[in-house]
Amino acid sequence: MLNSNKIIISIAFLILSMGHSQAAEPPLPSKTLSVWIPYWNWKIGLERIKEIGCNIDEISPFIYDFAGKGKLHLALNKAEESLKKLRDIIKTCSNVKLIPTIVNDWRKTPTSTVFKDPKLIHELLQDDIKRKNHIQEILGIVKKHAWDGIDIDYESLEPKSLPYFTKFAQELSQELHHANKLLSITLQPKTEKTLPTIKGAGAQDWPALAQAADRIRVMAYYYAESLNDPGPITPIYWLKDILKYGNNLIPEEKFVIALKAFQGLQWVRGGSYQSITTIDVQNLSSDPRVLLQFDPLTSSSYMSFTKGGAQHTIWIEDLVAMKNKLDWLKKEKLNGIAIWHIASQDVELSKLLIEQFPKNVVGAQGNTTNSDMKKDSIQSEGDKKGATIRTIDVQLSYSTLY
């Protein structure tokens, strides 16, 4: 009888101990969600924003580039009507800020565009008068359209432009802050191994720019493009290197990591590469002989096949890859994550972002945010294990995006 009592007490103690060991961990600090909506896929972008609603913190309409002689150009078709639709969708979302992007694409003619033109920006910023006029033009459009700020995305600059770009950011920051507006600067990726002579990153003084700006968005993609060899656009080990470098130079409250979502690259052996989306990959994956796999080393998904006798390899930041990276990033010292871009035809992007960035706010249609979109489960990394590459001759159709 005595032994039985001891057994009962022991079991009770064990149950209590198990209860304590399974206590819920404290919630992770919330991260902000920023999204770009490009002018060429505006309608689809609006659909995704409508689904995600107030879960978004900042929306950057990707709508400004350059016309002749360094003047800004509004690239959005039917701009007044299109912008009104965006504002109508988020009118009940008091937390959402609108911070449009200016990119250094130069429209030489109505049918000819120079993308990421470094010469245009260098000539514009090295001249004191031209730089001042450029700043005043930016300030003018911010005030005219009642934007919450501006996002500067001047890419592929030469290292010689570094002092002028820094001075431009400092002067623009002063003007915007005087008007109670925000400055966001989108930067190309750097790690401790990045050479100061490299085009793009070599023109960007991270500490100085972080001091001037309210947001520093670092584009954590382009990895495989820089190697010119098949591979992921954002391997997790490279992302960690970017974060480590940035944490030493950018205050946590300003640091934002930008990811390319539901996009990737298709490589042809002995040839070039081109952009591909998850919709393209889904069309391929519908054939049981073509398998999409998850690579734990890079936290990216990939597939391989033959077409016309040539070997093709696809690396894609799909649902599984994005979920793994977001789960990791949410634990790091960051202000938030930016998504390039929101205009995906794949509705799974909306479901993923709602799950990853929940907020107790009123939704875009006057209801609580769209938690019902979480119902579809997201495939875990474990579901991908054990897959093997197989090859097959297939015909592809592409929906190449910017």
What pLDDT is recorded for position 291? 87
193: Cβ contacts below 8 Å, ≥ 6 apart: 241
Q: What is the pLDDT of residue 29?
A: 65
Let me know if residue 347 belongs to a domain. yes
- The pTM (predicted TM-score) of the whole model is 0.85
Q: Are strands 293-295 and 32-38 parallel, antiparallel or unpaired?
A: unpaired
- Residue 69, number of CB atoms within 10 A of its CB: 10
Distance set, CA 233 to CA 230, 256, 299, 310 (Å) = 9, 18, 11, 22
Tell me whether residue 402 is in a domain. Answer: no
- Residues 6 or more apart whose CB falls under 8 angstroms from that of 70 comprise 120, 123, 124, 130, 134
Rounded to whole angstroms, the Cα distance separating 374 from 323 reads 13
Across 356-380, b (16+ Cβ under 10 Å) vs e yields bbebebbbbeeeebbeebeeeeeee
10-residue stretch averages of pLDDT, the chain, 402 residues long: 39 38 57 98 97 97 92 96 98 96 92 94 98 98 97 98 98 98 98 95 98 98 82 96 98 98 90 89 76 95 86 94 97 97 95 91 45 42 36 31 35
Radius of gyration, CA atoms only, the chain: 24
pLDDT in the model for residue 400: 32
Residues 6+ apart with CB under 8 A from 257: 217, 218, 220, 239, 242, 243, 329, 334, 336, 337, 338
pLDDT of residue 110: 81
Domain hosting 335: range is 30-260+319-377
Q: Is residue 293 assigned to a domain?
A: no
291 domain-assigned: no
Within a domain: residue 43?
Answer: yes
Tokens read off for 77: 């078709």
Question: With contact defined as beta carbons under 8 Å apart, do 154 and 183 qualify?
Answer: no
**Residue 53 phi, psi (nearest 5):** 60, -135
Domain contains 84: yes
Cα distance from N-terminal residue to C-terminal residue, the chain: 77
What pLDDT shows up at residue 139? 98
Count up the domains in the chain and report the number. 1
Instruction: Give Cβ neighbours of residue 401 (< 8 Å, ≥ 6 apart).
Output: 41, 263, 275, 277, 341, 343
Is residue 241 one of the residues assigned to a domain? yes
CATH of the domain at 192: 3.20.20.80
Q: Examine residue 401 and state whether it is found in any structural domain, yes or no.
A: no
Amino acid identity of residue 49, one-letter, is I
Of the candidates 262, 183, 188, 177, which has an alpha carbon nearest to the alpha carbon of residue 225?
Answer: 188
Sort residue 309 into left (φ over 0), alpha (ψ -120 to 50) or beta. Answer: left
